[in-house]
Amino acid sequence: MDKSAKKKIVVIGGGFAGLNFIKRIDKEKFDVTLIDRNNFHSFPPLFYQVASAGIDASGICFPLRRELRKYRKAEGLYFNMTRAKSIDTNARTVTTDEEVIPYDKLIIAAGTTNNFFNMPELRDSVYTLKSISEAIRCRNDIMDRLERACMERDPEKRRRMLSFVVIGGGPTGVEVAGALGEMKRYIIPREYRQIAPEDISITLIEGTDRVLRTMSEKSSAEAGEYLKSLMVHVKLGHNMKTYSDDTVTMDNGETLDAAMLIWTAGVKGVDFEFTGDTIKPGRGNRIEVDQYCRVKGVNDVYALGDIALMTTDDYPNGHPQLAQVAIQQAIMVARDINRGKVTGGFKYNDKGTMATVGRNRAVVDLNHIHFKGFFAWITWMVVHLMSLLGMRNKVSVFIDWVWDYFTYSSSTRLLMHPGKYPLRKRWLKE
């Protein structure tokens, strides 16, 4: 085929949707350029384990260039490590921090970022888990806090220093609270003997009447019991109103010490500046698409995964922001573009949901089947291991889990502060 005749596809985002689309698109017909601000693919469901020093960050990250090398059946597959800032749908270009890239078809699979629900001031004071760098920062500060607490002689100061509050009772909130609870119950008595477990307070705040709201009521109740067994205090039916001076103020006037507040309460679609055709973000700043993942009102622009808002009778508020949705949408869109026509539309095959609350504690909902405990925990581990890219990563994470299970010891609790100088202004771009 004449190379000049190949159409250009630009993919924004190297997550589950972006990579699965690239894997299946016909590289003989299309030149494909992937844009991502990182040069690696990461696995968000395990960010909380990095934040709680359960596994090393490198175990859940995989170099994009190595992954793309496997898909190189023809010339014309490129990767640019940069940030997409704006999209001109008339000129058919994507403007990044470095260049302007033309496209014939555009795939927006940029995912989500933190949603602070009209409290933007929280960005500078709370810990979040929407990227691997945020998870590492959270881990380092937890470890730093424990080390300083070991030297603190004032009991009241030590108690305040070790007050942890998790906002949001979804899977991430429950999992990170459970991981902190495990640390309090098992790790502190073994490795931080100057700290009494009762010095550490862990509180999970959820605005609805139960944790794991998207799962079955049985899973919610069981997860609540697991958290209780790990000495995590759960507050339901109330929201955080303000956070300042290491204190959380609730909507009922109650105040809580929170020297470290971990925010998992919500996400929103990544922001883009659009010119040309009018694209108005929908619920949660997600981009509205039709049943074929085509952005409404625009030609040759698709949105996939967490950033896409596809409303149906079964999902009036959009599909759940899960990896399986992103993967299935990517497969469908790649197939339709390869064929040059649409067929059938998207129908989500729900394979179930699961969450872990620590070792031997997990809940699983698979269609009409529910189970919990050790077998659910093993199922959760197998599913997540199989979802990681690269055999090295699978083996590395598996070894970390097995070693930690039998020894309660992890080398990831090493505290390594990065050097400050020389300043790298490029990395400071928002």
pLDDT digits (tens, 9 = 90+) for 112-163: 999 999 898 998 999 999 999 999 999 999 999 999 999 999 999 999 999 9
CA–CA dist 299, 92 (Å, integer): 10
CA–CA dist 163, 7 (Å, integer): 55
CA–CA dist 79, 149 (Å, integer): 45
In this structure, are 229 and 373 located in the same domain? Answer: yes
CA–CA dist 136, 54 (Å, integer): 11
In this structure, are 290 and 335 located in the same domain? Answer: yes
Asked if residue 54 is part of any domain, the answer here is no
Nearest Cα residue to 52 out of 165, 180, 162: 180
Domain that holds residue 398: 120-265+352-413
Asked if residue 105 is part of any domain, the answer here is yes
In this structure, are 385 and 249 located in the same domain? Answer: yes
In this structure, are 182 and 256 located in the same domain? Answer: yes
Band (pLDDT 50/70/90 cuts) for residue 351 is confident
Percent of the chain clearing pLDDT 70 (strictly above): 95
Q: Which of 67-76, 133-142, 158-167, 379-388 has the lowest mean pLDDT?
A: 67-76
In this structure, are 140 and 238 located in the same domain? Answer: yes
Q: What is the mean pLDDT of the chain?
A: 90
CATH number at residue 291: 3.50.50.60
pLDDT over 90 at 399, yes or no: no
3-state helix vs strand vs coil in the chain, percent to 5: 40, 25, 40
- pLDDT tens digits, residue range 183-230? 999 889 988 999 999 999 999 999 999 999 989 999 999 999 999 999
In this structure, are 299 and 313 located in the same domain? Answer: yes
In this structure, are 299 and 254 located in the same domain? Answer: no
Q: How many domains does the chain have?
A: 2
Asked if residue 56 is part of any domain, the answer here is no
CA–CA dist 196, 188 (Å, integer): 8
In this structure, are 87 and 233 located in the same domain? Answer: no
Asked if residue 419 is part of any domain, the answer here is no
Q: Which of 339, 369, 385 is the last residue of a domain?
A: 339
What is the reported pLDDT for 390? 85
Asked if residue 71 is part of any domain, the answer here is no
What is the reported pLDDT for 145? 94
Q: Which of 295, 317, 339 is the last residue of a domain?
A: 339
CA–CA dist 26, 137 (Å, integer): 39
CATH number at residue 180: 3.50.50.100
DSSP string, 124-189: GTSEE-SSHHHHHHHHHHHHHHHHHHHH---HHHHHHHTEEEEE--SHHHHHHHHHHHHIIIIIHH
Band (pLDDT 50/70/90 cuts) for residue 96 is very high
What sign for the dihedral angle of Cα 178, 179, 183, 187?
positive
What is the reported pLDDT for 1? 47
What is the reported pLDDT for 403? 82
